[in-house]
Amino acid sequence: MEALQEVAHIAGRPGLFRIIKPGRAGVIVESMDGKGKREMVSVNAKVSVLKDISIYSEEFNKSTPLSEIFTTMREKHGEKVDFDTKNASQDEFFTFFGEIMPDFDQERVYSSDIKKIIQWYNLLSTSMPELFEESKEEEPEVKEEAPKAKKKAKSKE
């Protein structure tokens, strides 16, 4: 999921943004909400690239990258996660996310984080479906050669 390097979340703003081009004064981003609005984001804004985000695990100093979470969500829920993020309780969020990542740290991962992950997954699934296509590395084909028929040497008599 190298394409996550091009997608960012900006603190204080809803949704995700595609990084178009970095500049001296900041970063040019395009909203992924379907409007495609481009704007310059200041250097002072807190921009988090999705490739660098990971979820805390119960094991000390261990976390799971967001790309692995998205892959598991794709395997378990398909193209869209049907989960009512508006009316769900904290326990429902934790139960749902426990199916995706059983060892997440419930003290450091909040229900609001899980809500964002679900919303991001659904947004990326619709706006960047190529992100979830399995990268098929082309391996060189090794053809087994059929044993060559030995030619009988004709003896001169």
Domains and their CATH numbers in the chain: 1-52 (2.30.30.730), 53-131 (1.10.10.1650)
Sign of the Cα pseudo-torsion (124, 125, 130, 135, in order): positive
DSSP 8-state secondary structure symbol assigned to residue 136: -
Q: Which of 84, 60, 85, 55 is nearest to 70 (CA)?
A: 55
Q: How many CB atoms lie within 10 A of CB 151?
A: 6
Dig out the tokens for 89 from the structure.
Answer: 């309780």
pTM over 0.85, yes/no? no
The residue assigned the tokens 């892959």 is 71
Q: Are 26 and 40 in contact (CB under 8 A)?
A: yes
CA angle 150, 154, 156 (to 5 degrees): 160
pLDDT in tens, 69-125: 999 999 999 889 999 989 999 999 999 999 999 999 999 999 999 999 999 999 999
pLDDT in tens, 25-77: 899 999 998 888 999 999 899 999 999 999 999 988 899 999 999 999 999 99
